[in-house]
Amino acid sequence: MSAEMQETDAAVVVSIEAPGMESGDFNIRVEGNPLSISGKRSYSKQREQGRYHITERAYGSFQRTISLPFEVDDSKSTAKYKHGVLEISLPKSVTLQPRRITIETG
């Protein structure tokens, strides 16, 4: 389960390669820090029939725990699953976001 973490000004995006799952199969937990993702890839029913010549693909349970580089706002976190990649977007906690300070002229 290769995982990557990408940081932008406003958020951190964690991507995990998890082909052959359904979006409901993931269990994502963010309670402050770290982020924890778990799930299970089950054998398909089709697997029972026929015989296998090569089996390189992995099945079963997995878990990844990733330390986040900063405090995130877990209430605004979102996740999507596309082409077998789970992408979790965690916005930076408001206190950490860059603020522009305007100079008052007086």
Partner 1 sequence: MTAFHALTDLHRELGRVFDDRPLYRHTPATNEASSWSPQVDIKEDEGGFTVIADVPGVDPADVDITLDNSVLTIRGERESETQGLRRRERFRGSFLRQFTLPESVDESGVKASASNGVLQVTIPRSAKAKPLSITVEGE
Distance of CA 6 to the CA centre of its chain: 11
Identity of the residue numbered 56: E
Among the listed residues 69, 76, 70, 106, the one whose alpha carbon sits nearest the alpha carbon of residue 90: 76
- Does residue 21 belong to the site contacting partner 1 (CB under 8 A)? yes
Q: Does 53 bind partner 1 (CB under 8 A)?
A: yes
Q: Does 65 bind partner 1 (CB under 8 A)?
A: no
Q: Does 57 bind partner 1 (CB under 8 A)?
A: yes
Helix (H) or strand (E) holding 17: strand 11-17
Residues that bind partner 1 (CB under 8 A): 2-8, 12, 15, 17-22, 46-47, 49-58, 66, 69, 81, 83-85
